[in-house]
Structure 1
Amino acid sequence: MVKANLSIFLGVIGLVAAQNTTLEATATLPQGVVKGISASFPGSNSSVLRHLVFSNSIIRILFVAFTTRLFNTPPPAEESEDCLYLNVYAPSGASPNSSLPVMVWIHGGGLQFGSASLPIYDGSVMAISQNVVVVTFNYRTNVFGFPNSPEIPQTEQNLGLLDQRLALAWVKTNVLAFGGDPDKVTIFGESAGALSVDALITSYPTDAPFRAAIMQSGQDTIRTQTATPGRAGNNTSYLSWNALASGIGCSNSTSPLACVRASDALTIKSFIEHSGLSFKPVVDDITRVSNPKQKRANHQIANVPVLIGSNAQEGTALAYGQSNITAALNTLFPTNKTLQAEVLAAYPVGKNGLKTSFQVIAKIYTDLIFQCPASIYAASSSAASYPTYRYYYNATFSNIQPFPGLGAYHASEIPLVFGNLRANSTSQEIILGASIQKSWADFAKDPQAGPGWSKINAQGESTMLLCSM
């Protein structure tokens, strides 16, 4: 095992038995030689080098059967606080002279759970088919990443976002050894990963460690009550911290923080899961700025092209099992009865294809949390003269529907983005997946030229529809 100077620990574990693998890939870093695995895939004349595959997964909170089935997040073999590992996937033959584009993935999970070691984030297919280097990494989540303890300075609260910065710094320093060009880095992420991408964009006015960004179903600029966690002036995660400290017997300690830190991580995890506590990032004006919209308009953010989009039925996953529209609106707008009435009137059951109360709730979630913010974001980004591209994913495949009637639900595009399709995938899935992978990679290879369609204008025109044939 090699320990990098950024406290990101590198290791190697075995791979899936279905693929032909050999321990023959190496990369030389200042700290030593890192061994990887060369893997070949059926139907491809090339092979991919897998370096630095995870040994342990991060302690994952809110890991329940529903999200397991919905987002294809099987339990990790082992969880540990020793979790800051990353994976590097590079085409076979890549060398320090290859100067390949680098695509760095930031996983989602509401900043409450998630792991880059999930099979759906395996970057092998993308690396081998698009001739790019793919990097995925862990970052701390929930209380481990965003504790909200009053004993911690505001500038040190967003540990998870600081982890992301460290991972990018590691990539900048070391990716050349794996055939990647440190000046050709594209960051991309989904949901909370997309929020993280935008937080990075808006907090790097100069010297950003990336040159392009892709946001799938998320952003951090348009901060509505529900679209973005921890918006300025509305972060109540300190209540979760107080509840945690009290629940594990630390509230009366001289230092509740020291007491919590001394507690067993799995005990903390269990209490949070059973109590339903949530821990969100704060506005620190280092990793997360207070006024991202104004900073974009004033050109005080990273000057990089962006690709942003959302799915047609994002909200079905969030609204699954709900049928009480009034209760849903009370949750969304608890203090604004006028707005509740206006939204209820705008989304009547029986019109615009909304046949059931569930479909109405799902549509409200889709528009409020994803579609409208993405549209406003894209228009404002373009108006500020940043090259901006938009997509709209509207493909439904029965073999990846965990529950009936979800449609193009939240996160359903991820298997196609990475090319990690199921054995029973249809030809339409395979074709669409290959098209998406090429578009994402084309954007990474030449961000100014874009993903294959026109930039949008200030009115939000020119959106690419990604759907099945």
Structure 2
Amino acid sequence: MHAVHVRADTTAPLREVTAPCGTVQGREETGVAVFRGIPYAQAPVGDLRFAPPQPLPPQERIDATRFGAVSLQDIDPLPEALPGTEHNYYAADVRADEDCLSLNVWSADPTGSAPVYVYIHGGAFLCGSGTGPWISGANLARKHGVVVVTINYRLGILGGLWLGDYEPQSSNLGVQDAIQALRWVRENIAAFGGDPARVTVGGESAGGMATLALLSAPDAHGLFARAVVESAHVAAFVPLDEARRATAAVLERLHIDPAAPDVLDQLRAVSVFRIAAVQREFGVRVRTFPLVTDDRILPSDPLAAIAGGAARSVDLLIGSNREEDRLFTITGWGSEPRSIDDTVADLLHDPDARAAAGRLYAEVQAAGVGSDAIAFAITADHDWAEPVRRLVDAHSASGGRTYHYQFAWASTAVGGAVGAAHLVELPFFFDNLDAPGVPALLGREAIDDPATVALGHDLGATLAQFVRTGNLAAGAVGDWRPYTAADRATMVLDRRSEVVVDHLAERLDFWADSRDLSTRPLAWLGAGE
């Protein structure tokens, strides 16, 4: 396997392309042309802070030999618990700045016309970047001829604060950043060897939620043909009244009167250090996420939009992990696993429904799910798998081609405590098990396991096949057929992957039938790696 560089190789030969955006100079690294830190919009500073992203005029020359700045952020709690995982979030030599709207391109043949994968990073809309070695596009480009684009976008308050009451277009700014990046791809990617008619957009966790938002955003229509959604909270979109409450809370902490005639001017004048302090204080507790159903950028939540046929022309690959919440126990964002009764008591307010859930999961435990894992099975079903199944039912019923998966491969890290947690699948889909820090999350023993290495290669090939064709028949993990109402085919991804018909049907049907009895109809947003 080729090593994935933590930093740009400053000794690699230069590679230059001429695009509508200007003459772009990158580097040739082990057979792949790499262009880092290309600006796709004007710097969102000064009068453009809290404004929609503005296109850049063509520039004479663009130095794309090093990554651009990443959005203002604190470190995620995961690298504090497992230091090697810092490599998921950003390259070692990047810095944070408001001027962060840049993207990176990997292309094996800048003279060709290859399919394009545009990836939106995760991190709870608070952390992360498009620079981390775990999402390097080098292996997908080199092995499979896919042009890979990763983006930075505004995070936290700068990218998610809803200000539509003051300026209608000042909402969902992080999603608008992604739309602007896709416009840049449409206009420029041919110069890098990509086909603008074959663009797939995808992301994991918060990036998956941003991808779902793009499926319902009118301004994104026609900018991509396929979508990949990994471990996204389908139900985590923010109603307008909640967005207004979050805005009021932020303005109060910044000592800005929400009724003042110059709120936007005051926000643009406030120190970025004060914004960072409020962002740190609130974390995910006050949801300043760019996922507001605002009747303008996002007219409806994705489930309603997809059920209405908004994405029927977009091929969709979507799934979740078997034990998503294990990660949040490790980071401190979630509780330690508890008994079946205690876990379902948090999820259901009806005594009869609680009793039924208790009986159901007692049978699941008796069938072989350990007592330390049963709570994770319950929350994964309720918060993740059932909402995702609801969405794939809607997409398939609307006429869209849909592929559904559950990632079941279990990490051995932290004495097996990571398991099939949130984020574990990410280096597999990029075929980057050799990236720095991956053993911290997956376990050294697992990385040395030939079956695990093969799964990494196979999932990289599977993603590339989807980006190329939107059809996963006769693929690297087996003959994966589309999901339909007739059999609800789910590919269970593990050391030995297989299609399962109506996977976890009894459990997911129970939560679908009990949705009105749930205490958490809006799924909790975890650590969002």
TM range (shorter): 0.7 to 0.9
Q: Percent identity?
A: 27
In structure 2, which of residues 270, 278, 286 is the aligned counterpart of residue 271 of structure 1?
Answer: 278
Q: In the alignment, is the contact (CA less than 8 A) between 2:140 and 2:430 conserved in 1?
A: yes
- Aligned: 1:467 with 2:506: no
Residue type of the alignment partner of 2:100: C
Amino acid of the structure 1 residue aligned with 2:272: A
Give 1:407's match in structure 2, choosing from 419, 423, 436. 419
- Which TM-score applies when normalising by structure 2? 0.74
2:425 maps to 1:416: no
Q: Is the 8 A contact 1:442 1:450 kept in 2?
A: no
Q: How does 1:165-184 map to 2 (within 5 A)?
A: 165-184=179-198
The CA deviation string for residues 245-269 of structure 1, in whole angstroms up to 9 with x for no partner, is 2223334883444333322223311
SS in 1 for 2:72: coil
Cα–Cα, structure 1 residues 68 and 119, in superposed 2: closer, same or farther, change >3 Å? farther
Q: 1:177 Cα shift? A: 0.4
Q: Is the 8 A contact 1:198 1:219 kept in 2?
A: no
Q: Which residue of 2 aligns with 1:9?
A: none
Note if 1:454 corresponds to 2:481: yes
Task: Provide the residue aligned with 2:321 in structure 1.
Answer: 311
Q: How does 1:238-257 map to 2 (within 5 A)?
A: 238-251=244-257, 254=260, 255-257=262-264
- SS across alignment from 1:260: helix
Q: Distance in 1 between matches of 2:222 and 2:233?
A: 18
For 2:10 and 2:473, how far apart are their aligned partners in 1? 35
1:340-351 to 2 correspondences below 5 Å: 343-344=357-358, 346-348=360-362, 351=366
Structure 2 match to 1:363: 377
Shift of 1:189: 1.1
Residue 261 of structure 1 pairs with residue 268 of structure 2: yes
Between 204-213 and 378-387, report the one with greater CA deviation: 204-213
State the Cα distance separating 1:161 from its structure 2 match: 0.5
Checking the alignment, whether the CA contact within 8 Å between 1:86 and 1:137 is kept in structure 2 is: yes
How much does 1:69 deviate? 2.8
Q: Judging changes above 3 Å, is the alpha-carbon distance between structure 1 residues 27 and 205 closer, same or farther for their aligned structure 2 residues?
A: closer
- Whether the 8 Å CA contact 1:443–1:451 is kept in 2: the answer is no
- Contact (CA 8 Å) 1:389, 1:450: kept in 2 or not? no
- Aligned residue number for residue 229 of structure 1: 237
| 2:124 paired with 1:134 | no
Is the Cα contact below 8 Å between 1:203 and 1:287 reproduced in 2? yes
> In the superposition, relative to structure 1, how do residues 275 and 340 fare at CA in structure 2: closer, same or farther (>3 Å)?
farther
Which blocks of at least 5 consecutive residues in structure 2 are unaligned?
A: 38-66, 436-443, 497-529
Q: Shift of the alpha carbon at 1:413?
A: 0.8
Q: CA RMSD in A?
A: 3.1
Describe the superposition over 1:348-396 as per-residue Cα deviations: whole angstroms up to 9, x where unpaired: 495444443x634322221122211222222222222211112221112
Is the CA contact (8 Å cut-off) linking 1:70 and 1:402 kept in structure 2?
no
Equivalent residue number for residue 123 of structure 1 = 137
Bigger relative CO (Cα 8 Å, ≥ 6 apart):
2
Q: Which moved more, 1:102-111 or 1:164-173?
A: 102-111
Contact 1:392/1:463, CA 8 A, preserved across alignment: yes
| Secondary structure, counterpart of 1:152 in structure 2 | coil
In structure 1, what is the equivalent of residue 20 of structure 2?
30
Distance 2:338 2:490 in 1: 33
Contact 1:389 1:463 in 2 (8 A): yes
The 3-state SS of whatever aligns with 2:379 is helix
Tell me, yes or no, if the aligned pair for 1:205 and 1:303 is still in contact at 8 Å: no
Offset at 1:50?
0.5
| CA distance in 2: counterparts of 1:19 and 1:55, whole angstroms | 15
Tell me which residue corresponds to 1:381: 395
Cα distance in structure 2, aligned partners of 1:146 and 1:206: 18
Distance change in 2, residues 1:32/1:257 (3 Å): closer
Which residue identity is paired with 1:229? F
- Find the aligned partners of 2:173 and 2:199 in 1 and give their Cα distance: 22
Partner secondary structure for residue 156 of structure 1: coil
How far is 1:332 from its partner? 5.1
1:56 to 65, 69, 72: 69
Q: Deviations 1:171-224 (Å, cap 9, x if unpaired)?
A: 00000000000001111111121122222123349952111111111264xx3x
